[in-house]
Amino acid sequence: MAKDDDDIEALQLALVRFQQHAIQAGERDLVIFEGRDTAGKDGAIKRIVEHLSIRATRVVALPKPNDRERTQWYFQRYVEHLPAAGELVILNRSWYNRAGVERVMGFSTPDEQETFLRDVPVFEQMLSHSGVQIVKLWLDISRGEQGQRLKARTTDPLKALKVSPLDAVAQEKWSDYSAARDEMLKRTHTAEAPWTVVHTDDKKTARANIMRHLLKVLAPPDIADKVEPPDPSVVFPFEPSALADGRLEP
């Protein structure tokens, strides 16, 4: 077995132990995965939940809103998916669609986008103060690596279900997505719900380091202290200077 596989297996075991504790303690844990197309959200989530309790773990990937949902308070359709006691909920994309793809593709108005950026820190503060532990991950990928992965989707029949109409413009609108990412990170990074950045050009390395970060943030000391800290060149806390010093893809 390769070392990477050994690392993943050990981290998965630590995640199982963490969840045993979280269920017993009645914790409510919410992990938000955001990032560019092909940044590896699906693969990382798959490894995280592989051995966790089906009853206590939910992965939520909502489709685009229907006509009725478009008339609701923006956060309304997400609220029903928030964790109850003993639950881990992972959002594979989230309410941050409004600050990313909706902005770039014009699926919402500038006023709606501004309202979201104003309101989301307050919404997340309310969740945090109610006892929900929030982890927000931005998965960053280089333009070249994204291009290779998008091309692979079109030639690998096993990846056919990953193909999206938005794939065609991911590279074309790269700079627009960068600008949307930058504003989102700056305006929604808070003490209660901070952003953590993950470099994902190397998928296996990214997955292992995401697991380490989750364990360090969510697990009790007797579990977290036995886990190596994530590699700071792969996983690091967001700060505004990262937008200009090369730590985030331009």
Fill in the amino acid letter for 7.
D
pLDDT in the model for residue 4: 63
Query: How far from the centroid of its chain's Cα atoms is residue 159's Cα?
Result: 21
Phi, psi values for residue 204, rounded to 5°:
-65, -40
Phi-psi region of 229 (alpha: psi -120 to 50; beta: other; left: phi over 0): beta
Q: Which two tokens stand for residue 208?
A: 């292992």
Fill in the amino acid letter for 151.
K
Fill in the amino acid letter for 161.
L
Contacts of residue 9, Cβ cutoff 8 Å, sequence gap at least 6: 1
List the beta bridge partners of residue 28.
87, 132
Nearest CA-CA partner of 191 in 238, 230, 235: 238
What is the pairing mode between strands 132-140 and 28-35? parallel
pLDDT digits (tens, 9 = 90+) for 81-93: 999 999 999 999 9
List the beta bridge partners of residue 135.
31
- The DSSP output letter for 128 is H
Phi-psi region of 29 (alpha: psi -120 to 50; beta: other; left: phi over 0): beta
Q: Averaged in consecutive runs of 10 residues, what is the pLDDT profile of the chain (250 residues)?
A: 73 98 98 97 98 98 95 97 98 98 97 98 98 98 97 90 86 97 98 98 97 98 97 98 96
Burial of 235 (0-12, 13-18, 19+ CB in 10 A): buried
pLDDT in the model for residue 1: 38
pTM for this model (two decimals): 0.95
Q: Are 30 and 134 in contact (CB under 8 A)?
A: yes
- Terminal-residue alpha carbon distance, the chain: 37
Nearest CA-CA partner of 96 in 167, 30, 48: 30
